[in-house]
A and B are shown apart, each in its own frame.
Chain A
């Protein structure tokens, strides 16, 4: 085995190596960085407008600051803001990307692609569409009583304020929707509200990175049922009862005959009863709920087929049945004409603390 020099030299060499351990270069301390959590982005006449919401921790509570600027590209604006601020902007902890509705309707492919390309932005960042001009939204957010800087973040987090009537989409899913043959996505739409700070306004249907239509929160829940994310979702059944979804299971059977595609979709929901009006029987609630779900989802799927946006990823079930070069045209040539047969089966798991009539 080799031995190097005297112990003193060895110790010195080790100390020099220790300096390398930090791995930092041009390091800026945390107090010289600002870490925005929300980025708002709109596009007017080819120019981007950007808003950044930056939390500013103070000794007793956290405040926030909103800065904005405009420019030709996203990184250009970040640079500009960074130049004008006393510290450096670091997008490492960006949590929500808020996109102006008009810009979303134009198509946000370029921004999504550059966010994926950029090293510092996490692909896990949520994408949200804002239903009012961004300046008004951020004005409302910066009112003194709304100063909690992480409201918007918590609104979408599964372990915080998220609920199944709200869509939850991340940048990488948007990117997948741009390139995948069979997987589109939906993006939540919000606006500011006087009483709850944020108001959910349903979801946008995104097709190839462009917003093509919008759906209500109830429809969003339907889509979440199809995608298996519906637990704790609440549904009002006619005017007889209110139920909560405990779990759901879904199975598909696909078939191709000639150019016609058929899909049989069987959804099984387990629910508990939360509230009743009058004295409905369990069987009645079950029957009404099945009927309601079928009607609602048929209307919803008709809308999706019309818009040629496969946000329920039905195309995935045809991967073995349609050759790959044809599958590329799934959205335009197959999905709108697919014969979809939906079956709902509701199981009332329990009725809560009170007994109910069975029939």
Chain B
């Protein structure tokens, strides 16, 4: 069954959920001038990674990543997949913890964290239990419901921009690519590496056109640019770097006279949170697929158990500092997932094809 449309929506939504919170903070921290260069660098890496990954997966018709890697032997597959599993677990923990913190910082200041985390987790657990078909359907539904709203808010966010803040376009420091080894730049790859793995997990269920995914990734590029440039153009670099979530602050400065709602940032945030819930569901579903590779338990048991474990882990993270530390430790796995996994699929894929021929 061809489900290109659904795959594209899931791909776009899971990235959109990740772009607008931590990503602008990291990029604004990584350089003072010429933010477009780190953004384009990250994006080029992202494009290269998904192109390689999808190429690699095309060698395994109707097989997902787990089965594909298994063609090179169980031991190889386990060694390659263990860090991926660790990475996915960490992503779950970080996302749940960070986003519940975002929700308390931005609007639900008196709601305890556990309640927000329970909400995020319970919905995504439920969706993950229903499987990939449900995730795909939800993606399409959320896309139709929330994208018009998001586009509306994004276009209104230009209200207070001062274009001169975009100047100068480049300086010698940024041009040397010195930012590549900055901690904040490496952290910003979070937004690029989080959502693409699912592209290698859906093949046994559906087909999709990888060319469409590559084209649709071009929709993400302006979003990456906007998420950084809107705060910079509104506040200026020096002020924007003071904010915990510069983009949310920018949306907060929008005032629309004719709209009866005062704080449209709330609408924006809630749409993003639904995208994040969907993203979490996808990650949990992938994780379960990897776990069931060796240990064949029922998803109906495994997923609730996993979500309870995640909940307990998240409860044990005391503060924001630990979240950002965790995000930093995750960098190793992130680079692994972005470099080794696509490379491995290609190498193993080519060998697999030769053997079959």
Q: Which residues of A contact B (CB under 8 A)?
A: 1-2, 4, 17, 20, 23-26, 93, 119-120, 122-124, 157-159, 170, 172, 175-176, 178-183, 313, 316-317, 319-320, 323-324
Contacts and interface: CB of A to CB of B under 8 A. Distances in A.
A210 to B, nearest CB: 17
Interface in B292-311: 299-300
B112 A25 contact: yes
Nearest to A179: B239
A74 to B, nearest CB: 16
A324 B33 CA distance: 9
Contacts of A24: 111
B255 A124 contact: yes
A26 B238 contact: no
Contact of B131 (A1, A23, A119, A159): A1
Given A1-B130, A176-B239, A179-B242, 16 more contacts: A1-B133, A2-B129, A20-B119, A24-B111, A25-B108, A25-B112, A26-B110, A119-B105, A120-B109, A159-B258, A170-B253, A172-B235, A172-B249, A172-B253, A180-B235, A183-B236
B236 A180 contact: yes
A159 B239 contact: no
Contact of B299 (A2, A179, A181, A182): A2
Contacts of B162: 183, 313, 316
B210 interface: no
A180 B238 contact: yes
A268 B165 CA distance: 24
Interface in B251-293: 252-253, 255, 257-258, 262-263
B122 interface: yes
Nearest to A3: B300
A68 to B, nearest CB: 25
B171 interface: yes
Nearest to B253: A172
Interface string B90-133: 00000000000000011111111001001100110000011101
Contacts of B105: 119
B168 interface: yes
B253 A124 contact: yes
Contacts of B1: none
Contact of B238 (A93, A157, A181, A323): A181
Contacts of B167: 319-320
Nearest to B129: A2
B79 interface: no
B75 interface: no
Contacts of B111: 23-26
B257 A159 contact: yes
22 contacts: A1-B131, A1-B133, A17-B122, A123-B249, A124-B252, A159-B257, A170-B253, A172-B235, A172-B249, A172-B252, A178-B239, A179-B236, A180-B239, A313-B162, A313-B164, A316-B162, A316-B164, A316-B165, A319-B165, A320-B167, A324-B33, A324-B171
Contacts, number: 86
Given A93-B262, A122-B252, A123-B253, A25 B33 contact: no
Contacts of A159: 257-258
B32 interface: yes
B240 to A, nearest CB: 9
A27 to B, nearest CB: 9
A170 B255 CA distance: 11
Given A320-B167, A324-B33, A119 B106 contact: yes
Given A20-B119, A124-B252, A179-B242, A320 B168 contact: yes
Nearest to A117: B244
Contacts of A316: 162, 164-165
Sorted from nearest, which 7 A-B pairs have the closest CB atoms? Answer: A25-B111, A316-B164, A179-B239, A159-B257, A319-B167, A320-B168, A180-B236
A19 B255 CA distance: 32
Contacts of B106: 119
Interface string B320-339: 00000000000000000000
A184 to B, nearest CB: 12
Contacts of A182: 236
Nearest to A27: B110
A119 B107 contact: yes
Contact of A2 (B168, B239, B300): B300
Interface string B226-257: 00000000011011001000000100110101
Contacts of A23: 108, 111, 119
Contacts of A158: 257
Nearest to B106: A119
A2 B238 contact: no
Nearest to B172: A323
B299 A175 contact: no
Contacts of A119: 105-107, 109
Given A122-B262, A181-B238, A324 B119 contact: no
A151 B167 CA distance: 41
